[in-house]
Structure 1
Amino acid sequence: MATTADDVWRLLGELAVAQKETERRFQETEQLLKEQSQEAERRFQEAERRFQETEQVLKDQARKTDRQIQQVNQQIGNLGNRLGEFVEWQVRPAAVRLFRERGIAVRQLASDVTIEAGEDSLEIDLLVVNGDEAVAVEVKSKLSHTDVNEHLERIAKFRRLSPQHRSMKLMGAVAGMVVPPEVARYAYHQGLFVLAQSGDSMVILNDDKFKPKAW
């Protein structure tokens, strides 16, 4: 069938209408994608904001926890210092009596003796002196093998850093409110006097056969 001019114009009109519909749908799709993109961006920004808020809360809690830990450590340290002072004041008056009973006629007892020689230094909790003999005493709330070893090193160092005591017979002792039996035996065999809490008083655990080491 022959195509007339009217048919051509009708087809062109239909194409124009179809093109406009396609453009409309394209614009609608583009707008929908734009709105979805904006919504996704909004949600992302909201998630980022919440993440930053959560991160800040966690940082604040971490700082608060650190402060609390520091406060607890400080309180424990203060308690340990007070307990150490209490044990030392328990040992101090007993040391005079106990060493006199062992034949060391105490004439002088000094607490927290610090000796410095150049850049080197040491501290002795209690120093018992009777003229020609001296006993360096280390005091702990609970005595350990490490405490004994450190005190043995301290005594040797004391002899080297304290010329005024070199002519004396230097001995050592360890004392504690709690002294485990194995630690007491170890200190005994190292030649140290061992003082421990027994009931309401301090006692020397070393038997009569004990011979103190002299440095």
Structure 2
Amino acid sequence: MVRPAAVRLFREQGIDVHEVHRSVEASRDSDDIEIDLLVVNSTDVVAVECKSLLSIDDVNQHLTSLNKLKKMLPTYAEKKVMGAVAAMVIPDHVGRYAYKQGLFVIAQSGDHLLIRNDAKFQPKIW
């Protein structure tokens, strides 16, 4: 459900989308990474973690993945990397935590997905 909406959602945030990759995995130096959805253009990458019910632990695991993304996926080493979390259910405290960590927060609203971040939000750049 997130993949079809990703193009629209990030374009609404001013991030053009050229490619969307699902289930991106890499292993290097006995370390590994898995990204549910990678949204890419010529200068930016948004790594999206998708869950049914988002938890603080899920957010922290995604932050760990974001910290090593450029090392694990050197194709994107020169790009501006941002992060997002998406879920059908996001408890308010988890959404606030993800926002404070600089992540886009994508949630279900009725039959649609939307980015819950307000106009003051500045994504963290890795």
TM-score grouping bracket, smaller chain normalisation: over 0.9
- 1:150 aligned onto 2:61: yes
Instruction: Give the alignment of 1:168-183 within 5 angstroms.
Output: 168-183=79-94
Structure with the higher helix share, 1 or 2: 1
Question: Where in structure 2 are there 5+ consecutive unaligned residues?
Answer: none
Question: Where in structure 1 are there 5+ consecutive unaligned residues?
Answer: 1-89
Higher relative contact order (CA 8 A, sep 6+): 2
Structure with the higher strand share, 1 or 2: 2
Matching residue of 2:14? 103
Matching residue of 2:27? 116
Distance apart, 1:117 and its partner CA: 1.3
In 1, Cα distance between equivalents of 2:81 and 2:112: 26
Distance apart, 1:112 and its partner CA: 0.2
Residues 111-163 of structure 1 deviation map (CA, whole Å, 9 limit, x = unaligned): 00011214221110000001110000000000000000010001111122121
Matching residue of 1:134? 45
In 2, Cα distance between equivalents of 1:183 and 1:159: 26
- 1:199 aligned onto 2:113: no
**Which one of the candidate residues 33, 53, 72 is aligned to 1:161?**
72
* SS, match of residue 68 in structure 2: helix
Matching residue of 1:18? none
Residues 142-186 of structure 1 deviation map (CA, whole Å, 9 limit, x = unaligned): 000000001000111112212111100000000000001110000
Matched residue type, 2:90 = V
Between structure 1 and structure 2, the one with the greater Rg is 1
Distance apart, 1:200 and its partner CA: 0.1
Runs of 4+ in 1 over 2 A off after TM superposition: none
Matched pairs, number: 126
Matched residue type, 1:110 = H
In 2, Cα distance between equivalents of 1:200 and 1:139: 17
Percent of residue pairs bearing the same amino acid type: 56
* SS, match of residue 58 in structure 2: helix
The root-mean-square deviation of aligned C-alpha atoms, in Å, is 0.7
